[in-house]
Amino acid sequence: MALLQISEPGMAPAPHQRRLAVGIDLGTTNSLGAAVRSGIAEVLPDEEGRMLLPSAVHYRPDGSARIGHAALAERAADPRNTIVSVKRLMGRGRDEVATDGARYDLAEAATGGGQVRLSTTAGFKSPVEVSAEILATLRQRAEDTLGDDLVGAVITVPAYFDDAQRQATKDAAQLAGLDVLRLLNEPTAAAIAYGLDHGVEGNYAVYDLGGGTFDVSILRLTHGVFEVLATGGDTALGGDDFDARLAGLATVAAGVVAGQLSDAEHARFAAVARAAKEDLTDALIVDVAFDAAGVHRHAAISRDAFAAATSDLVDRTVESARRCLRDAKLQAVDIAGVVLVGGATRMPQVRAAVERCFGKPPLIDLDPDRVVALGAAMQADALAGNRAGDGEQWLLLDVIPLSLGVETMGGLAEKIIARNSTLPVARAQEFTTFKDGQTAMAIHVVQGERELVSDCRSLARFELRGIPPMTAGAARIRVTYQVDADGLLSVSAREITSNVEARIAVKPSYGLGDDEVARMLQDSFGAADSDMRARALREQQVEAARIVAATESALGADAALLDPPQVERIRCQIDAVRQVADGVDHAAIKDAIDALSHGTERFAELRMDASVRRALAGKRLDEIA
Ligand code: ADP
Ligand code: MG
């Protein structure tokens, strides 16, 4: 996460001084670059006039690499050395890509804190190096078209890329010899391409269905401030899934089972299915021809049949979009416009569903494949100092993707900053000590939506020491969470009465990825009920431990105030609480606690009287009044 992006108010240079900058959409499936020339943003084509560069890199044993279409051409013959969808691995640790691991041949780095490496015939490659190959290709295109006066690039990233993923993207650019003027969120770039930054006010939705991912964001524009209100989506849903459905329809229609295809036939069929899917966007029926076990087959697939076979996929995107609206605390009617991004939004069934969901036709004037790169190019142009005037500044705000909290007694996560809070943000909460005379407190910073710490991600631990000894519950410890504009968290804890303070800056070496964010959210939605029960049980267990400790400390100090049988009865009640405290019977723990607290009422009164007498002992009446 980075955010609060404020464009430098540039002076317009004289025409001959015009500084050229490129905007790059570094996509999971396709990447492309664009630049503003003669005041108009245009995509930069390759020498054959193609705009999209497939995000694919093929490595050869001699260490050389082929990028884009040339790499995809090698994929069927040499899949292990053809890296695709590397964006999913950017800034991620080995254990964070376990689910994606099957797609790649992964190896752990010898150094580098467990960051992922891909094992290829040309040696180990980091995702940063692979991405750098793609960026270098686009840089070359830009220099061929614009000359070599390129001052830098704006590179787009998904809105909920975390700090580590953003840093990895920057590293890749640097490796490719590009000066990064700024990283820009993809939905924001799309909004800029539509000119929504020019005096437009209101809430906008950006619906982005790419090759392998779906992202939806709600942006709010007010007085030149561009704010990302909420983000959502599904990192395992994209055009590829539609290809697979089309392939399924074709095999069934041709009376073939998928297992009959050899690996090579399968690879070719995947490309055929994808092309057929794209053709169905304009045609009402397509003929899908493929080989199965050496036999030539074909099947006619209609647009309606394809729409019916993919309606559940489309419904899932709509469900994510609704959830994102809810997170932004908005309704469909509050949305002034919907921007379509990503090649897969060309499919008519997708457009129709978006229109139904938001109650208005989406904006489709710009090519959904190019809109992000075009917006990035405009931002790059502004940052290079080619635009003047106050109206041309952008102030972009972002949100945190998952709640930040602290561990409290019993392994419970107490949320301090809620998910989707706008950055920068600071929040404080007060806590107290649990034991008499407690002089230190461990602070465990966690991230996630779940009630139990064990279901959240641990970000950092530190200790507040030197708390003056006080009775349990008397200390006042104020824990403050602050997330700055770059998305970096710092946590401080201060005991108010003594002013003892400790603080820590949290910068995870690699943070949560989209998948993990999505999974953790999914888990929390599914688990809300059982979480609440687990929380109630933990709270009861903590209360049991607290009352046992408090009663024992009271007996230790003042047992003399009671008769031996009274002491014995209280000890029995303590034992009764102990026996059930670690169990899962919520009601039994509560009953035992109630019995003990009831049984010690008289004792508490006696202690109170005694302590008042002690305080007053030896004092004259006029001293007390
Ligand atoms: P990413 O953001 O993941 O790099 P893109 O925005 O380039 O992806 O989208 C790629 C997806 O768009 C692919 O699944 C591709 O098949 C699909 N696509 C491109 N053109 C069309 C079309 N005319 N009709 C349907 N899908 C299309
Ligand atoms: Mg994209």
Using the 3D structure, point to which of 311, 338, 358 is the last residue of a domain: 311
Site to substitute for ligand 1 among 30, 72, 340, 350, most atoms within 8 A of C-beta? 30
Atom of ligand 1 nearest to the CA of 238: 14
Residue ID of nearest Cα to ligand 1 atom 7: 30
Which one-letter DSSP state was computed for residue 129? H
Tell me: the pLDDT tens digits for 459-517? 888 888 888 888 888 888 899 998 876 566 888 889 988 888 888 776 543 344 455 55
Reading phi first (left if > 0) and then psi (alpha if -120 to 50, else beta), residue 152 is in left
Domain annotation covers residue 9 = no
Three-class secondary structure of residue 111 per DSSP? coil
| Amino acid making up residue 594 | D
Active-site annotation holds for 46: no
CATH number at residue 471: 2.60.34.10
Q: Is 307 left (phi over 0), alpha (psi -120 to 50) or beta?
A: alpha
Are residue 210 and residue 306 in the same domain, yes or no?
A: no
Q: Which ligand is nearest to the CA of 190?
A: 2
**Is 3 a domain residue?**
no
Q: What is the 3-state secondary structure (H, E, C) of 377-401?
A: HHHHHHHCCCCCCHHHCCEEECECC
CATH code (residue 381): 3.30.420.40
> Which stretch of DSSP H or E encloses residue 267?
helix 263-280
Copy the structure tokens of residue 362: 């989406």
- Whether 346 is in the pocket of ligand 1, judged by its Cβ within 6 Å, is yes
Q: How far is CA 409 from CA 432, 441, 542, 546, 574, in A?
A: 11, 11, 6, 10, 20
Which ligand has an atom closest to residue 238 CA?
1
Q: Are 89 and 100 in contact (CB under 8 A)?
A: yes
The whole model's pTM is what? 0.65
Ligand nearest the Cα of residue 274 is: 1
CB of 275 within 6 A of ligand 1: the answer is: no
Q: Are residues 372 and 288 in the same domain?
A: no
Give residues with Cβ within 8 angstroms of 15, minimum separation 6. Answer: none
In SS3 terms, 132-176 reads as HHHHHHHHHHHHHHHCCCEEEEEEEECCCCCHHHHHHHHHHHHHC
Q: Are 433 and 467 in contact (CB under 8 A)?
A: yes
End-of-domain residue from the set 398, 417, 446: 398
Here the CATH number for the domain that contains residue 591 is 1.20.1270.10
Instruction: Give distance in angstroms: CA of 342 to centre of ligand 2.
Output: 5
Q: Verify whether residue 163 is a known catalytic residue.
A: no
315 assigned to active site: no
Q: What is the DSSP string of 9-78?
A: -PPPPPGGGPPEEEEEEE-SSEEEEEEEETTEEEE---TTS---EESEEEE-TTS-EEETHHHHHHHTT-
- CATH number of the domain where residue 274 is located: 3.90.640.10
Q: Is residue 153 assigned to a domain?
A: yes
| Dist. CA 457–CA 513, nearest whole Å | 12
Active-site option among 100, 162, 171, 186: 186
- Whether residues 120 and 199 fall in one domain: yes
- Same structural domain for residues 159 and 213? yes
Distance between Cα 345 and ligand 1 center (Å):
8
Last residue in a domain, options 286, 311, 336: 311
Kindly state whether residues 534 and 418 are assigned to the same domain: no
Q: What is the pLDDT of residue 241?
A: 95
Q: If you ran DSSP here, which 8-state letter would residue 362 be given?
A: P
Exposed/middle/buried for residue 567 (C-beta within 10 Å: 0-12, 13-18, 19+): middle
CA distance 587 to 498: 39
Residue 278 beta carbon below 6 angstroms from any ligand 1 atom: yes
Indicate whether 151 belongs to any domain: yes
Catalytic residue among 162, 163, 208, 398: 208
Check residue 625 and give its pLDDT. 37
**The pLDDT value given to residue 130:** 96
Count, residues in the chain: 625
Can you say how many angstroms the Cα of residue 558 is from the centroid of all Cα atoms in its chain?
Answer: 54
Per-residue model confidence (pLDDT) at position 48: 93
Residue 453: which domain range? 400-526
**pLDDT value at residue 512:** 45
The CA 29 to ligand 1 mean position distance, Å, reads 8
Q: State whether residue 356 is helix, strand or coil.
A: helix
Residues 453 and 305 in one domain: no
Beta bridge partners of 500: 495
Q: Number of structural domains, the chain?
A: 4
Residues of the chain predicted below pLDDT 70: 1-18, 95-115, 148, 199, 223-225, 387-399, 485-488, 506-529, 611-625
- Does ligand 1 have an atom closer than 6 angstroms to the CB of 28? yes
| Domain membership flag for residue 108 | yes
Residue 5 inside a domain? The answer is: no
Coil/strand/helix, residue 435: coil
- Any idea which ligand is nearest the CA of 279? 1
| 510 lies in the same domain as 533 | no
* Torsion angles phi and psi, residue 248, rounded to 5: -60, -45
Contact between residue 501 and residue 477 where contact means Cβ atoms under 8 Å apart: no
* pLDDT score, position 222: 75
CA proximity to 341, closest of 228, 217, 513, 201:
217
45 upstream amide cis, omega within 30 of 0 = no
Identify which of 31, 209, 278, 303 to mutate to test ligand 1's pocket (most ligand atoms within 8 A of the CB): 278
**Is residue 624 in a domain?**
no
- Cβ–ligand 1 contact at 54 (below 6 Å): no
Tell me which DSSP letter residue 562 carries. Answer: S
Residue-level pLDDT at 305? 98
For residues 232 and 251, membership in a common domain is answered with no
Residue 186 annotated among the catalytic residues of the structure: yes
Is 407 inside any structural domain?
A: yes
Sequence-distant (6+) residues with CB within 8 A of 484 are 423, 424, 490
Burial class (CB in 10 A: 0-12, 13-18, 19+), 418: middle
User: What value, to the nearest 5°, has the Cα angle with vertex 185 and ends 216 and 505?
Assistant: 110
Torsions phi, psi for 92 (to 5 deg): -110, 150
Q: What is the pLDDT of residues 385-430, one digit of tens each?
A: 776 543 444 445 566 777 889 998 888 999 999 887 777 788 888 8
Same domain, 443 and 421: yes
Task: Quote the ligand 2 centre to 28 CA distance (angstroms).
Answer: 7
Q: Tell whether 553 and 520 lie within a shared domain.
A: no
Q: Tell whether 478 and 437 lie within a shared domain.
A: yes
- 191 and 231 part of one domain: yes
User: What DSSP assignment string belongs to 289-328?
Assistant: EEEETTEEEEEEEEHHHHHHHTHHHHHHHHHHHHHHHHHT
